[in-house]
Structure 1
Amino acid sequence: MRSLLSYPETGADIASPGIAGPIDAEHQWRSPRAHHAQPHRQHDNVLVSRWTRNITTPVEVVNHGNESDHCIGLALKCVSLTFNHAGRRLTQGRLTAGVVQVTAPAVPVSAVFESSVDVLHLFASQQVLAECYEDLFQHPHAGDIVLGDPKLVRDPTLDRLGQALAVSQTSDAALGKVFTESVSLAIVSRIVARQFTVSNAQNREGAALPQWRMNRVVEYIDAHLSETIGLADIAASAGLTRMHFAAQFRRATGLRPHEYLLRRRIEHAQHLLLSSKHNVVDVALSCGFRSQAHFTTVFKRFVGETPCCWRMKANAAR
């Protein structure tokens, strides 16, 4: 296992496509270059960076905590990892795209990534949090705002905002900056709103799918992507009935099981399109789609382009 404690990680940086400037490509995990280049930066905006790595062997990373900002991590794709927060293990296993984790200032975190990773990090100052709170509730917050709950959050709205931030494309640098600032503020505002309004509602809801059952589900789906998988099959892998499983799965991931299955198939298809010479039909069949037409439709819905166009652009970028 390779330890990356204080020196830049090797490997190509992959910046957010089409946005020049507003989104940094991180050399070190959770340590955007803008923090070092602008030590006295303005604190009335959200700093956004992106850490992307193609991982073939486990990679260990450590961050000792940002001195003044909350760090919001938003996974843009499914990832297998072990994540430790303040010296305690927070999660181990495979996480779905769209999962969000918030770390308060000066809190050390570490992780071991066992699969390729693409994550956005948003750094929000106390000034930004206070402005979001006052805008939401129409009065100032008494004292500092501390988003102290480090548990993983699965929120479809945050997922959509993060994906929009990541895939936005514009040739206008000024427009890119405005878009990035607007969406990043929306993400922070959503998290502040959840902090102060969602806890009571969550207590009234039923339980979410436990992580150990989720790990079983992920393992089953990944092992049978090329086959026809039904809800009963996935529920059985978790040891639950279909009705109980579907409700708990959605609470845990923010997604219906079918939607999650499609996402995993498209992610696997992207991997095959880049790592093999298979034609589109073969890739479609290997990922459980019964026709190229259906595969192309679903692929375009999730990725925004047809498989052929995406493959050509991705290969050209490499």
Structure 2
Amino acid sequence: MTQAGVYGQRLGRGLHVRDAPVLVTRSLRSAALAVTEVRNDAPVPKFSGSLPAEDAYLVSLKIRDYPDCECWENGRFVTKANVRAGATYLYDLKRDPRYVIDKPFHSLFFYLPRSALNDIATQPGASRVEELNYSPGVGHDDEVVRHIGATLLAGFRRPDEPNQLFVDHMLLAFTAHVGLTYGGLKPVVEPGRGGLAPWQVKRACERLDSDLSGGLMLQQIAAELGLSVSHFSRAFRISTGLPPHQWLLRQRVEAAKQMMAVRGLPLSEIAISAGFANQSHFTRVFSQMVGVSPGAWRRETSGGPATEA
């Protein structure tokens, strides 16, 4: 099946990199959202390849400085400028964006179809996004994109750990931010009772709790409740105080605590049973949420030695 969308290996080929790891969500009705990491520490000098023309944008967070970057659109030279690590750049895929690759580079590229922006804009009172406001080759100091990018980059470093709920949440938050910041999308005013109905909270929590691995997509849960993904995500947070992926992490920790009451059960086995990628992932999340390591917590609560392996 041919991939639709400029992300992953399709993007990597255009930028002349062999390995282009990607995280994807299909939680919006109309299109996939994706983020791809591209890096080349020793490129062969050449133009980047022409990317497929789509009604979509690439939003790039630069991880590494790139001096004297020569940018082109529609076959014409646009500008030459120093690109700084931490800056955000926007590219319209309808305009054949290209640049001269002649130095090492490292970036995250978010693939953002216009249809996804318009899905976000379907909230009451929101207007459709016509075009994103940007100048070719001009970077933006965008703290939100830097934060989201840093969080996702950590996920690329530990590819077994990010679950689908986490990826859905981060890419939906990114899409909403871009629509608000560069597309003129008006923020949605939450109603006074903006949470879920009690039966919806119960059903959503049951569905999340049924798969501690986080393999469910937000779209599946939202559809069962008759809600859009963005509405469900906001309402769930209002009702529970946490976004779905954070609520699930808390449930994993609580499940692990119950299992640690069983003497002799190895922490490595508890980690997998509670939905964590491995023992290291379990230890890091548990320590952040509880304040002590799983082994220390078990010793404190049981009054005896813990099995660490």
**Which range, TM-score by smaller chain?**
0.3 to 0.5
Tell me the TM-score normalized by structure 1: 0.44
Q: Which has the larger radius of gyration?
A: 2
Tell me the TM-score normalized by structure 2: 0.46
